[in-house]
Structure 1
Amino acid sequence: MGRLGELEPVPRRSTVEIISDELRSAIMYGSLAPGSQLGEADLAARLGVSRGPLREAMQRLVQEGLLRSEPHRGLFVITLAEDDVEDVYLARLAIERAACRMIMARNRGEALVRLTEALQALVTAAGQRDRIAMSDADQAFHQVLVASSGSPRLERMAQTLLVEARMCLNALQEKYPEPDDLVEEHRKLVDAISDGDEERLLRLIEEHMTDSIERLRTPAV
């Protein structure tokens, strides 16, 4: 990304990329439910695309780990259990810690502008007490955090993990943080970046992920 306000060419997206995004979104929101089989003809009709780019997009999601291939049976959406929570969030921690270090070393000012905007969207969703909007804004915040690192590889790795994290939350929605708590957790991250306090930022991102693991693993009362 260039300097703030600098115009850059708009990236062109292929049909395969667009289909991949549609499939990820359907998996994330549960319209393609965990464990469900993907019917090629049905999906091609629903998306209004030919089977060639659809197959390529589905194979891309197999490589990402969101779909699994079973010989002689076809493709299925992965199923995540509570045991997967720790693995997902520890992987996210590794990526987001690296992103935080890069932000503090390279482009803290730009990251602060983008994350402040993402935080405001989370504040708005929390004020509406809309759990889906809160989840969307929460995910968008972390996407911006990783993207602000300037590393396309970290961004690619984070993409699948954020979808998997959302799948965990869909199954365990009653354990999602209270709106005010969620906002405060993210506000502290922005404040640490604003203050230039890398040590505090890294501690907060670790607490954010480990607290999520504990919250999602603890039986609901």
Structure 2
Amino acid sequence: MDINIKKSSLKYQIAEGIKKEIFRAKLNPGDKVTESDIAKKLEVSRGPVREAMQLLVMEGLLVSVTYKETRVSSITTEEVTELLIPMRINMEIFALKKAYFTWNEQHFEKFDELVNQMKRATMFNDMPLFNEVDIQFHELIIVSSNMNNLVHLWEGILNRIRLHFVHQNSLSLDLQKFTDEHEKLLNTFKTGDLDTAVQGLKDHIIKTNIPRVELLPDQENESSEE
């Protein structure tokens, strides 16, 4: 596990390192994560590792099973279709309506830059980079609303969105199509018509997620291995 350990805020650095392993699909849904293994790899005591794992449980990236072991969380079809997608549609459209007519040349340059990064990630089949840029594209819509409460709500579901992107994209292996859909969405933003932009955003979220939900498990398996 590639983590640069410093003495200060050790548990947070360990937590960030475990996050990277999850978001790079080096730790997969259901994989067991143990204090002893991580402490041994990092050559640290188990105390800060335990604290780091507790942080990630609270963030929804790890799940404690029967109070005995900890595993990487799964993301299920039900959660995506009944929670994440409706929440994203409502939050992103709300942000778009608040922000759209405040966007200037710099905003569109940033969107263009992100789409270009997607193209590079697609060219090199860099899934972790693509997922991160995908998040940044949609986060730009949220943040541009300048509504702190909305940003906090987004941050509350961000790790679950990341898990969804990691598991869905790694299974679908269709980065070019995702890139094309983001470029198409950006073109609707550039029309200057709010109704067109809103409909384009809603269609985009549905089109890039709903057809692929069958790739996810129907329910999260939290049973312990013997």
TM-score, length basis structure 1? 0.73
Deviation string for 1:108-161 (max 9, x for gaps)?
5443232221111112233x1626254443334234443444444144134213
Q: Is the 8 A contact 1:17 1:57 kept in 2?
A: yes
SS state at 2:208 partner: helix
Residues 1-221 of structure 1 correspond to what in structure 2 (within 5 A)? 14-86=9-81, 87-104=83-100, 106-126=102-122, 128=123, 130=125, 132=127, 133-150=129-146, 151=148, 152-170=151-169, 172-174=171-173, 176=174, 179=176, 181-217=177-213
Q: Is the 8 A contact 1:28 1:167 kept in 2?
A: yes
SS state at 1:69 partner: strand
Task: Give, in angstroms, the shift of residue 73 of structure 1.
Answer: 0.9
1:188/1:158 Cα in 2 relative to 1: closer, same or farther (>3 Å)? farther
The separation in 2 between residues aligned to 1:40 and 1:182, in whole angstroms, is 37
**Sequence identity, in percent?**
24
Q: In angstroms, what is the RMSD of aligned CA positions?
A: 3.0
Q: Is the 8 A contact 1:146 1:155 kept in 2?
A: yes
The separation in 1 between residues aligned to 2:102 and 2:11, in whole angstroms, is 33
Q: Is the 8 A contact 2:15 2:56 kept in 1?
A: yes
The separation in 1 between residues aligned to 2:44 and 2:109, in whole angstroms, is 38
1:76/1:217 Cα in 2 relative to 1: closer, same or farther (>3 Å)? closer
TM-score, length basis structure 2? 0.72
Unaligned runs of 5+ in 1: 1-12
1:16/1:156 Cα in 2 relative to 1: closer, same or farther (>3 Å)? farther
The separation in 2 between residues aligned to 1:143 and 1:19, in whole angstroms, is 25
The separation in 1 between residues aligned to 2:64 and 2:193, in whole angstroms, is 45
Q: Give the AA of the match of 1:159.
A: L
Task: Give, in angstroms, the shift of residue 31 of structure 1.
Answer: 1.6
Number of residue pairs the alignment of both structures matches = 203
Q: Give the AA of the match of 1:63.
A: M
1:21/1:90 Cα in 2 relative to 1: closer, same or farther (>3 Å)? farther
